[in-house]
Structure 1
Amino acid sequence: MEAVEDIVIVGAGIAGLTTALGLHRLGLRSLVVEASDGLRTTGFAFLTWTNAWRALDAVGIGEPLRQQHNQLSRRGHEFRCVQRRTLLETLVNELPSGTVRYSSKVVSIEESGYSKLVHLSDGSSLKAKVLIGCDGVNSAVTKWLGFKKPAFVGRFSIRGSAYYEHGHGFEPEYFRYNAEGVRLGAIACDEKSIYWFFTFSSSSKNEEMEESPAKTKQFMLSKLGNIPDNVRAIIEKTEPANIILSPLRFRHPWEILLGNISKTNVCIAGDAFHPVTPDIG
């Protein structure tokens, strides 16, 4: 079965949904295909600075997100820690019904005249007049454009979120600590949720930790060194189900400068285009 679409966006992450919403605000319909069976909320939260809020305002969702996330103390900048699930749900709720098609993994792309024929894992195909790849670091569209896989930087990131039913009591600040070979940051998203991250160089224990969030948690606690008790307690309080371990990858700047970020009616955005490490993101 082959359907014809004016604009197909691959990936219903932040970049894909924001692109779809931006087009919708301009009166242009798009179809977003997503490999997962629902919204991908992995990652818990992330920092957003002034320029990000300008982008959120441009697509009309800045104000409702401000109301749900604390303004952190950064002179001259708008600086908040936004929960990923909240952002994705806000984006998708602003889109017309049927914009996102889940359980639709792209398996191949081929030319079909001026259009692109996008083959999906369920056996169906989409004939796209415009194709936009927003499908992350393992992007099928980026591969079609001829880019190499992003490079591993030799570091891993552990991320998590702690929830305090009666409030955490932390000031709206960005807490950051360095120990031998590791870095920890913690930021309040709102009055009850704290997002944290922990980065470290490659370890022989990585495979073991990938299989057990509980062991990941113990590894972190053993590496934190002399940090305030209330900050250590954030990690201790975090449920293992709210902890993920990920390798950090990025695309070399010269690959972006010299590569084909667009070709005829195909382009890429988000992590599919320029994956970076969190400290330079």
Structure 2
Amino acid sequence: MEMIVEDIVIVGAGIAGLATSLGLHRLGVASLVLESSEKLRVYGFGLTTWTNAWKALDALGIGDILRHQHLRLTKSVTTSLIMGQETSTTSLRGTAKHCGDIEVRCVLRQLMVEALANELPSGTVRYSSKLIAIEDSGFSKILHLQDGTTIKTKVLIGCDGIKSVVAKWLGLRGTSFTGRYCVRGCVNNNHGHGLQLSFMHFFGKGFRSGFLPCDHKTVYWFLTWTPNNEELEMAKSPNKMKQFVLSKLEKAPSDIRRIIEKTEAEDIFTAALKYRPQWELIRGNISKGNVCVAGDAFHPMAPDLGQGGCCSLEDAVVLARCVAQVFNRKNNDYDNNIIEEEKEKDLYKRVEAALEKYANERKWRSIDISVTSLVVGFIQQGDLDFVSHLRDKYLASFLAHLMVNKSDFDCGRLNIVTPYS
């Protein structure tokens, strides 16, 4: 089988991979995205999309597309099911310290993925292309796919999730288990859900739940908890998990319980919550030579700040900006007397420097969000009486403001140019 040659290969057509490819495309640089699935992966439900994510989406040129499809949330409301009362209300309007207007919407994952993919040139994503091995070849990498295809590339970007083949090649260890699980669901009511434009949090003994309207008909919900052995078995059955969530939310308002009751089994998904320990992010290789990782392959994190997808979009903009500086035409004008090997060596060094710049820019931001998410998760879901009392009585407002403050970040713009042919 003939070897395919590409300048830039991105592994994974999720949010990080598609956004990185789109960022490069906006800057006139072509890339190939490898996706193991037979078609675009549009599964998943809602993504809490905070101010920092909208800055990235605007940089990529699809912010307004998604704004028109989703409602803007106006406040965050926290209710203690133990105390039987609201404990805090935090406005999601107003101006952030660094980034202008606060903007929060719950975006349906399918619509975000489709918006990213629709802006890419035809043929950018190669489906049924599962990466199984990476091989060094001078100043390039040889990628071996499951179907026998080999691809030679000057840059390899891993956006292939928590089981990343690229992260493993870089020497990053597997993810760690937080000890918690999350059950997620999504319901569409053709007659409208009638909810206020609020991010509604409900806290009970040992669990946390949230409800977010996406549009006038669709609501995304979740519940996180630490399961016992019996509950681990229940997690395999969506119908049992539906009843489990209803039992946890027995003291919640009736309109909230109706949302769970109307959720179909096929729209309920349960999974363990995993993260990459901070010492791995500090000591491990985010980039090495002409290889790097982004998104969940880089920083899988607990969902307690709602920043996993947001940080993936930040990664994409920063990474595209760094890599595009290497592959613009001006930087690739060489003296004709320079031998090919010297050209390849020079390009490799510039790619390596660009990926190191990206890694240095993203490392501490990712560590900050990841560690804060873990700590917030412990506080919000604490099942000890004194932790629950502290959270409900004193910390609810602080934690809500913390979520807003961590989203007050701007990854910067792309210098958009006309794509070259």
Fold conserved between structures, TM > 0.5: yes
In structure 2, the residue matched to 1:88 is 113
2:237 matches 1:219: no
Q: 1:250 to 1:112 in 2, by over 3 A?
A: same
Write the distance in 2 (CA, Å) between the matches of 1:37 and 1:255: 32
Partner letter of residue 36 of structure 2? A
Measured against aligned partners, the alpha-carbon deviations of 1:111-164 in whole angstroms (never above 9, x if no partner) come to 011111111111111111100000011100000000110100000011110100
**Partner residue, 2:141:** 116
1:21-41 Cα deviation digits (max 9, x unpaired):
000001111000011122223
Which residue of the other structure, out of 69, 89, 93, is the alignment partner of 1:75?
93
TM superposition score normalised by structure 1: 0.97
1:102 maps to which residue? 127
- The corresponding residue for 1:17 is 18
Q: Is the 8 A contact 2:10 2:21 kept in 1?
A: yes
Matches of 1:182 and 1:228, distance apart in 2: 17
What is the root-mean-square deviation of aligned Cα atoms in Å?
1.1
Alignment check: 8 A CA contact 1:69 1:81 kept:
yes
Asked which structure has the greater RCO (Cα within 8 Å, sep 6+), the reply is 2
Higher strand share: 1
Which residues in structure 2 correspond to 1:127-142 (within 5 Å)?
A: 127-142=152-167
Amino acid of the structure 2 residue aligned with 1:198? L
Contact 2:211 2:220 in 1 (8 A): yes
Among 186, 189, 214, the alignment partner of 1:164 is 189
Tell me the CA shift for residue 211 of structure 1. Answer: 3.2
Q: Report runs of 4+ in structure 1 exceeding 6 Å deviation.
A: none
Q: Partner of 1:39 in structure 2?
A: 40
Q: How far does the alpha carbon of each residue in 1:78-121 deviate from its partner, in whole angstroms, 9 at most, with x for none?
A: 01000000000011000000011111111111101111111111
Q: 8 Å contact 2:236–2:270 — kept in the other structure?
A: no
State yes or no: 1:151 paired with 2:186.
no
**1:63 and 1:40 mapped to 2: Cα distance?**
22
Match for 1:28: what amino acid?
V
Q: Is the 8 A contact 1:156 1:200 kept in 2?
A: yes
Worse-superposed segment, 228-237 or 41-50: 41-50
Q: Is the 8 A contact 1:81 1:187 kept in 2?
A: yes
- Give 2:258's aligned residue: 233
In structure 2, distance between residues paired with 1:124 and 1:87: 30
Unaligned runs of 5+ residues in structure 2 are: 75-91, 95-101, 308-421
User: What is the identity, as a one-letter code, of the residue corresponding to 1:163?
Assistant: N
State the match for 1:175 in structure 2. 200
Match of 1:186, SS state, is strand
Larger Rg computed on CA atoms: 2
2:52 partner amino acid: N
* Bigger share in helix: 2
SS at match of 1:167: coil
The answer as to whether partners of 1:179 and 1:225 remain within 8 angstroms in 2 is no
| Letter matched to residue 7 of structure 2 | D
Distance in 2, matches of 1:117 and 1:29, equals 18
TM-score calculated relative to the size of structure 2: 0.65
Q: Report the alpha carbon displacement of residue 207 of structure 1 after superposing the two structures with TM.
A: 4.6
The whole-number CA distance in structure 2 between the counterparts of 1:90 and 1:118 is: 28
* Aligned residue in 2 for 1:59: 60
Give the 3-state SS of the residue equivalent to 2:304 in structure 1.
helix
Contact 1:34–1:103, Cα closer than 8 Å, also in 2: yes
Distance 1:42 1:250 in 2: 21
Residue 388 of structure 2 corresponds to which residue in structure 1? none
> What displacement does 1:208 show?
2.8
State how far apart, in whole Å, the 2-side matches of 1:174 and 1:3 are: 47
1:210, distance to aligned residue in structure 2 (A): 4.2
When structure 1 is superposed on structure 2, of 176-185 and 186-195 the one drifting more is 176-185
Give the aligned partner of residue 277 of structure 1.
302
Unaligned runs of 5+ in 1: none
Alpha-carbon distance, 1:206 to partner = 4.6
Is 1:268 the equivalent of 2:286? no
